[in-house]
Amino acid sequence: MQQATTAPETSYYDYIIVGGGTAGCPLAATLSRNSTVLLLERGGSPYGNPNITNLSAFGAALSDLSPSSPSQRFVSEDGVLSARARMLGGGSCLNAGFYSRAATQYARDAGWEGGLANESYGWVEKVVAFEPPVREWQSAVRDGLVEAGVVPYNGFTYDHISGTKVGGTIFDTDGRRHTAADLLQYADPDGLTVLLHATVHEILFRIKVHLGYTGEPRPKAHGVVFRDASGVKHSAYLKPASKNEVIITAGALGSPQLLMLSGLGPADHLKAHNITVVLDQPLVGQGMSDNPMNAVFVPSPVPVGVSLIEVVGITRFGSYIEAASGENFAGQSSPVDFGMFSPKIGQLSTVPPKQRTPEAIAKAVETMSALNPAVFQGGFLLEKVMGPLSTGHLELRTLNPNDNPSVTFNYFKEPEDLQRCVDGIRIIERIIESKAFSKFKLDYLTVPALLNMTASFPVNLLPKHANASTSLEQFCKDTVMTIWHYHGGCQVGKVVDRDYKVLGVDGLRVIDGSTFNSSPGTNPQATVMMLG
C-alpha cells in the first residue's frame, strides 16, 4: 500500500478499480494474478487501528465523525442516520462481523454459476471467516428462537437455510477482525498497486467511431482522474487492449454518485448540475433500498458478556432475527458507548426519524452517560426485514465526490415490509417470554413494558406515540434504524447487464452492493466479497 501522493502524474494499467472495499479488494487480488491492476481507495489502511481490529471497540469507528474517520456519516432524506465506509476493506472494517452466504435461490436468480459461487465463497472463508464462541446469552437467544417456532435448528453453518442457526463471523477467537483487505494476501504483488487517500473525481470516456460504422457512437471508459490527500490531480489510463476495463466498486452510494459525476445518469439531473452528459441513463441512482431494522432492549438481572451477531433466526415470513449484547453498551470506555445501538453512531430509536437531529443525539448521549452502568446490563434483540420491497432514489447534492449524495429509502412504503417488521417483533416477544431466555429477563418487565421502556434505558424505545406497545405498526415506523445493508442505484438489468457491464458504454463495470435488487442472505458482506 502507498499513499496516493507518491503516485506519478500519469500511469497506465490493464484494470483500474475504484474503491478498495468488500468487493474491490478481492477483485483486485484475483485480477492481479494475470494483469496489472490499480486499486484506488479514498480512505486509509485498517491495519494498526485498534478501533477497527478489536471486537470490544465495536462502534468506536462508527461514532468517529472526524474527517479522517474510517466511517463517513450520512443522513437519508427519511431522517435515518447511517454510515458509509472510508477505509481499505470497506464496510468489513466497520460492521458487526456476521458472515453468512446468500440463499441458493438468490444466486440462481442473479444468474451466478452455483459451483463457481461456492468456490468463491470458500476462497473468502479460508481467510476471513470463523466460528463464533456462542456463550450463554447468545445460546439463550438461539434456544429462545427455536422455542418461538423458528425451526429447525441447523447448527453452525455459513449456508442460508430456514430455521435457527449459528453463522460465521469475521472476528477470530481472539476477538480480532479480519477484513476484506486481508484478501489482498491472495494478490500477486508485482501485478497490484494499491493507492490510499486517492479520491476519484471522474471516469474518463472517449467516443469510439469505427470506419464504416453507421450506428450511434458508443462511449468507452479509458481512465480516471483522482486527487491525492494534498489535492494534487493524477490521471490513470487503461493500456490499449480490448479486454481492459475500469471497474467501479465504490458501494451503493459511491458507485451511482461517481457514474453521475462522470456524465452517466438522468440527463436533466446532470444538466442541472452543469455536468456534460455522456449517456442519458435515467435508472442510475434508482432502486435505492435499505433494510429496516427495529430492536428491543432487554435489561438483564445478571451481567452479560459482549457479543455481536452470532445467531440468526431465518423465518418463513421474510424477517431475520439477530441479537447483540454486553458490556460494550456501558463499556470500559468513557463516556458510555453502546455498541451497535449507540446514539453516538446515530442509532437513535428514541425519537422518530425526522427528529434525529445532532442536538437530539447529543442529548441522548449526555442522558445515557449520566446513568448507572447497571442499567445497561443486557442486550438487544433485533429484527431485519428481508428485501425490502420499498425503494427510493439517489441524487447529487454537489460536484464533490467527498460529499454525500442525497438518498431516500422510503422505509415501509410497501405494506408488506411493515407486516414483516410486525411479525418479526412478535417473534422477539416470544423469545423474551421463552423458558430458554428467562435467566436474562427481569420478571417484573412485561413485553409491553419493554416496548414502552422508560427514558432511563439506553435506547429508550418510547416513541412519540403512546400506543407503541399496542400498535406494532407504529412501533416499527417510529423506531426504525438502519442495519447498514443499503443497496441499489446501479442495478442488474437496469444499469448493468448480468456480467455487471454498464449498459450503453464499453470498458466499464460496476461490481458491488449497488447492483443488488435485494439484500443477499441475512447479512450481505459474504456475498459482496464472493462477488469480487
Could you list the active site residues? 485
Closest CA to 74 of 314, 409, 328, 332: 409
Q: Please, what is the Cα angle at 525 between 376 and 342, to 5 degrees?
A: 20
- What cell does 349 get? 430509536
Cβ atoms 192, 28 nearer than 8 A: yes
Was 332 annotated as part of a binding site? no
Comparing CA positions, the residue from 22, 92, 94, 85 lying closest to residue 60 is 94
Task: Confirm whether residue 160 is marked as ligand binding.
Answer: no
What the block records as the C-alpha cell of 447 is: 413485553
- Those residues with Cβ within 8 angstroms of residue 189's Cβ, 6 or more apart along the chain or in another chain: 32
Residues 83, 163: contact at Cβ < 8 Å? no
200 is in an annotated binding site: yes
Residue identified by cell 434504524 is: 481
Is 485 marked within a binding site?
yes
* Residues 6+ away with beta carbon under 8 Å from 47: 181
Q: Where are the alpha helices (DSSP H) in 189-325?
A: 251-261, 267-272
Which whole-number Å values give the CA distances from 336 to 21, 301, 370, in the listed order?
30, 20, 9
Alpha helices in 308-414 (DSSP H): 358-369
Task: Give the three cell numbers for residue 163.
Answer: 430455521
∠ CA 97-101-107 to the nearest 5 degrees? 145
Q: Please state, in angstroms and rounded to a whole number, the distance separating the CA atoms of residues 67 and 135.
A: 37
Contacts of 375 (CB under 8 A, 6+ apart): 299, 330, 456, 457, 458
What would the DSSP string read from start to end of 455-483? TTSTT----SSTTTTT-HHHHHHHT-EE-
Known binding residue 484? Answer is yes
Determine the Cα–Cα distance for residues 37 and 188; give it in Å rounded to an integer.
10
Residues making up the binding site for FAD: 200, 484-485, 513, 524-525
Residues making up the binding site: 200, 484-485, 513, 524-525
